[in-house]
Chain A
């Protein structure tokens, strides 16, 4: 009798009793289908005309059984045993732009406060002390100045980078409108990662969402900023996809590639707040246009030898071929919020992720008033860190549940009313995973990943 389930099944048959579970997935590929063991994220692609023979034989099952324990352990570590090592730090509530989909409430962006240098200094001392105890000595924690627009409080941000450069790795996510040559010189000389937000390849598209409080667009200034930064190795660009730019994604890829961008995120708009919901594209259109954009990156790579990595898709691909090598922690369950990273607002309030900053019920405490370890273990944090895919419908029975992770908890909570519900783009993830498997079937997966991505990995198995 199985000690865990109490059932008498010896587990010798697939998909019944205590037997291993192999789900079949049609990929839309001419030759291959996928079989997946969802709990371990084990997969293999099988020729369609040999599916019955292969699955009823022992080839796949034997391989699965050999590595089952290690794969379970790997997923357990990835999902439940990581420690926070990054902070998304908002040095100001203010933003000079009024993008309709922003997850920071407009009253904060318009009338909010800066965090003073004295408070930033105090906050960094607290964070330095916390990470000094929680992380190995060789691991440098990361501080990402995030928004609202961090360069609205430029002097304090730059002073913090100068003062704490030995203690943290730094990044700045900016709308680019306040970044001048001298600022870039400072940031690049300090090895600060720069993330630029650009939503379109031309003024008439970009300016529909990236505009200031007087409704004036920012594309012309963004172009100048891009010219300053474009050859910087630590530059990445984020494009937020809405109904305004959904039809231009391939042109956006052309634009980024022409500007020698090497890394970008083409993110579906988050629907946590009403503004995002109002400009949300449909899942099917998002999937269709996104996949065309991915195809275009591949065409450009074949033509020029230069890759433009779409990091959010690359992360899903990594989740399939090497689950622990994923770089972003949105598409794993529980997500990284509150357990791999957390967010600090300009008032010092601590949230599991920036996405929660507008949702006061998810405040875990205040960095200046409360103990950080207790904040990270507070009820609001636990609600997020304990949101796991096994408790969500329809995700609990979904074969690709560990390639998608059912993001995002803030979105799920606000749209669907609770943590036991999925977020906004279920079908979009289905299509991305199918596309990823088709690439693998055609042997193209490395064309969509960073060169040398698998340095320091070991091969668990290969058919």
Chain B
């Protein structure tokens, strides 16, 4: 398994696309319904540092 680097503190990684008008991402809705088994897993380098009182953000993304 290859674990790749993910930016620390990254919570709001969406606003690149939301800075102007938000663009609805195409979903895979309905496509799963006919499958006998659904299952997947993704991995990255763990960098979670937040707690539920607060949302962390990667300010370098601004």
Query: Residues of A with Cβ closer than 8 Å to B?
Result: 31-32, 42-47, 50, 54, 59-60, 63, 67, 70-71, 73-74, 77-78, 82, 84-86, 88, 139-140, 142, 144, 146, 169-171, 173, 191-193, 195, 233-234, 236, 238, 262-263, 265, 267, 301-302, 304-307, 309, 311-312, 321-330, 332, 335-337, 340-341, 353-355, 407-408, 440-444, 446-447, 450-463
Q: Are B13 and A455 in contact (CB under 8 A)?
A: yes
B13 touches A452 (CB 8 A): yes
| Binding site secondary structure of chain B | loop
Q: Which residues of B contact A446 (CB under 8 A)?
A: 25, 27-28
Task: Kindly identify which residue among A77, A170, A267, A450 contacts B12, using a CB–CB cutoff of 8 Å.
Answer: A450
Query: How far, in whole Å, are A42 and B41 apart by their CA atoms in the complex?
Result: 8
Chain B contributes a number of interface residues (CB within 8 A of A) equal to: 58
> A305 and B22: CB pair below 8 A?
yes
Interface SS majority for chain A: mixed
A453 and B13 contact, CB distance less than 8 A: yes
**A131 CA / B13 CA spacing, docked (Å):** 25
Q: How far is the CA of A173 from the CA of B50 in the complex (A)?
A: 13
Give every chain A residue within 8 A of B23 (Cβ-Cβ).
305, 451
Report the bound CA distance from A454 to B6 in whole Å: 9
Please indicate the chain B residues that have their CB under 8 angstroms from the CB of A457 in the complex.
Answer: 4, 6, 42-44
* Alpha-carbon distance between A446 and B14 when the two chains are bound, in angstroms: 12
Considering residues B2, B4, B27, B53, which has the most beta carbons from chain A within 10 angstroms of its beta carbon?
B53
- Most chain B Cβ neighbours within 10 Å, of A139, A304, A451: A451
Q: Is the CB of A440 within 8 A of B38?
A: yes
- Distance of A323 from chain B, by nearest CB (Å): 8
Question: Contact at A463–B38, with CB atoms within 8 Å?
Answer: yes
Within 8 A of A (CB), among B39-53: 39-53
* B26 closest partner in A (C-beta): A446
Additional pairs, 6, CB under 8 Å, beyond known A142-B56, A267-B53: A67-B1, A74-B3, A146-B53, A195-B54, A234-B12, A328-B50
How far apart are B14's CB and chain A's nearest CB, in angstroms? 4
Question: Does B29 contact A442, Cβ atoms closer than 8 Å?
Answer: yes
Given contacts A50-B36, A146-B53, A173-B54, A327 and B27 within 8 Å (CB-CB): no
Q: How far is the CA of A233 from the CA of B58 in the complex (A)?
A: 11
B39 contacts which chain A residues (CB < 8 A)?
Answer: 43-45, 60, 63, 461-463
Q: Closest residue of chain A to B40, judged by CB?
A: A462
> In the assembled complex, how far is the CB of residue B52 from the closest CB belonging to chain A, in whole angstroms?
4
